[in-house]
Structure 1
Amino acid sequence: MTSISFWIKSLKVIPQVTKEEWGTLDIVSRWLVASRAAVFIMTAISCAIGGLLAYNFTGVFNTTNFLICLVGLVFAHAANNLLNDLIDYNNGIDKDNYYRTLYGPQIVERGYTTKNTFYGYILFALLIAVTCGLFLVLRTDKTTLYLMAAGIIFLLFYTWPLKYIGLGEPTVVLVWGPLMIGGAFYVTSNGLWNWNVLYISLLYAIGPTSVIFGKHIDKSDKDLEKKVYTIPVMLGEKISRYTTLFIWFLQYAVVGYFIYKGVLGLSLLLVLLAIPKYLETIKVFLSPKPTQPDPNRPTTWPLYFASFAFVYNRRFSILFLVGLILDVIISKVV
């Protein structure tokens, strides 16, 4: 496989590579694998939503600011993934951790590279992210600096201590919502603001967060052993499953309310097309996790609830994004 082909593959799925294969990879491929680049799409969608809302609500779309913001957010996400792996490695969380191997090789734990090289990966990602942030601060104002500072704080402290004390999931909501979507809106509109963006960002962000919630339900027993007290660990499996279903129902209710109030256009009714998948997923979440994988239900076992949550959330998020695009076209072009 050529380097470019591997880069593209790494942006679509998190590849599993052996130590021998790792030795044949170029530096870009290694960085993409180490940073779990396939999940960057979630950050890209958040940034895109912020840009669309900026144009829809203000009529302003600063292309340069938007693109720099997109690059900065993606590299910040990469830095967070890398820091997460480093801290979990130092704390012994990933030792003999089968769940973690599903997300690609933990390259320090497996001895693929040295800690010093891994520090270099982190430094590179942080350097790009901070440079983009400072560039946007110079092009806007100190509000962007505050947003950037908040992002850095969450980036550095998500894995520890926030994830260990039940604050990991709320942090993800804030980061994927107000910080990413709100931040993208602010810089793309040249420093303008609309409070509806905050509410819409929270509406969207609880969707991707539900996938992480599902993952934490799946491995709550393992997290408890490692003294990682995520919200599902504290609530227990049953309450956590029902909480996830309520979160998804809340998204539909809030979309309907925003349409009624005129905050969002009728095109956002597209999300109703996700209801069949929602009903399928409800059936899964109403029952405890089985002890063995069901051959009739393909999942990335032992991640069970996370698999169904990901498929459903992908459906809802894509429809939500398409609805926003149509809303912009209808209001600004037609």
Structure 2
Amino acid sequence: MIKEKIKIWLRAIRFFSFTGSVIPVTLGAILAVKQSKFQFTYFILSIFAIVLLHAAVNLISDHDDYEKKVDTRNSYGSSGVILENLLTSKQVNIGGIICLILGSLIGLFLSYEKGLFILVLGLIGAFGGYSYTAKPLMLKYKGLGAPLVFLLFGPLMVVGSYYVQMQHVSVEAFFVSIPVGLLTTAILHANDIRDIIHDKKAGIKTLSINIGKSNAKKIYYGMIILAYVSIIVMILCGILPYLSLLCLITLPIAYKNSKILYNSKLSISGLITLDKSTGKLQAQFGILLIFSILLGFLL
């Protein structure tokens, strides 16, 4: 019974999606290895904080999407635990609030230890994540979900994680956050493209709805291409080691995902799992980037 409950809650928090937050936080912390100031304890605390906040966003958005009739039995976006009566909408929302509070408490401890800048970033992250679907801002429903995700899962996490380690802001960390932020945003964007029809029926306005499916596809391709181009530019500028060319190993996956999206005008079946496929691309790309930076420092 307990094991089943755990499985349901792991499904509800969408455990598979946590690479979207763990990778940028790890990336920011690893950049501190170059200065021999990597602090493992604070890194682990940062990971716990960000995973709890990420879980909170997933749970609260599930609740809000269900209450606003964005998620139905014919849509694909949610964890499905509410629709399948595995958990009530209220339980999911309370779970989200608890995760938000716990993550914020760890964030407060980190800000006490590491300074006001972490408090500011933490407040932006917590409020931004909560406001993704929750009132009063409900940013996802106004077409602002994609830029919010890029900000939170790109520069904010990488720069913040680096600051926890080093206690100063790094321009290098900001630039390194760009490709990871783009690929994480592409996950959400793939989701929004797939859900255009259902979201229109629910009366919300995502970026994909606002600009149309054709332009939304171009933005997806653009985010994927820019992620790889930015790696090459940073290598040429000396920001990243040449070993970061390892990220190009994932190009076939990126091409496959883009081809699925391109062919979606003929069939929607591929789009059903495009967000998860893009998530796998982000995870593999991010792991290779972290590995290449770490190896570059050690060699």
When normalised by structure 1's length, the TM-score is 0.81
Match of 1:261 among 227, 237, 252: 237
Task: Note the residue ranges of structure 2 that are not aligned, 5 or more in a row.
Answer: none
More helix by proportion, 1 or 2?
2
Retained in 2: the 8 A contact 1:289–1:304? no
Retained in 2: the 8 A contact 1:69–1:184? yes
Counterparts in 2 of 1:212 and 1:119: CA distance versus 1, 3 Å: closer
Aligned residues: 296
Task: Give the secondary structure class of the aligned counterpart of 2:265.
Answer: coil
Bigger radius of gyration: 1
2:154 pairs with 1:177: yes
Deviations 1:119-165 (A, max 9, x none): 44223212320110111011011111101110111111111421011
What is the one-letter code of the residue matched to 1:118? V
Retained in 2: the 8 A contact 1:237–1:288? no
Counterparts in 2 of 1:73 and 1:111: CA distance versus 1, 3 Å: same
Give the equivalent residue in structure 2 for 1:242.
Answer: 218
2:284 pairs with 1:306: no
Give the equivalent residue in structure 2 for 1:46.
Answer: 24
Retained in 1: the 8 A contact 2:60–2:96? yes
Deviations 1:246-299 (A, max 9, x none): 221112221111111111111101112222333334433333433364xxxxx5
Per chain length, whose mean CA-contact separation is higher, i.e. which structure has more relative contact order (CA < 8 Å, sep 6+)? 2
Distance 2:232 2:254 in 1: 16
Runs of 4 or more off by more than 6 Å in structure 1? none
Match of 1:213 among 189, 195, 201: 189
Residue 37 of structure 1, CA deviation: 1.9
Give the equivalent residue in structure 2 for 1:105.
Answer: 80
Give the equivalent residue in structure 2 for 1:317.
Answer: 286
Retained in 2: the 8 A contact 1:51–1:61? yes
Give the equivalent residue in structure 2 for 1:129.
Answer: 103
Counterparts in 2 of 1:324 and 1:288: CA distance versus 1, 3 Å: same
Distance 1:112 1:2 in 2: 13
Distance 1:291 1:85 in 2: 27
Residue 307 of structure 1, CA deviation: 4.9
Identity %: 25
Give the equivalent residue in structure 2 for 1:12.
Answer: none
Retained in 1: the 8 A contact 2:60–2:130? yes
Deviations 1:198-223 (A, max 9, x none): 12112211012112111111111111
Give the equivalent residue in structure 1 for 2:91.
Answer: 117
Deviations 1:42-95 (A, max 9, x none): 211121111111222x33112221111110000000111111011112212223
Task: Note the residue ranges of structure 1 that are not aligned, 5 or more in a row.
Answer: 4-24, 294-298
When normalised by structure 2's length, the TM-score is 0.90
Give the equivalent residue in structure 2 for 1:140.
Answer: 114
Aligned-residue Cα RMSD (Å) equals 2.3
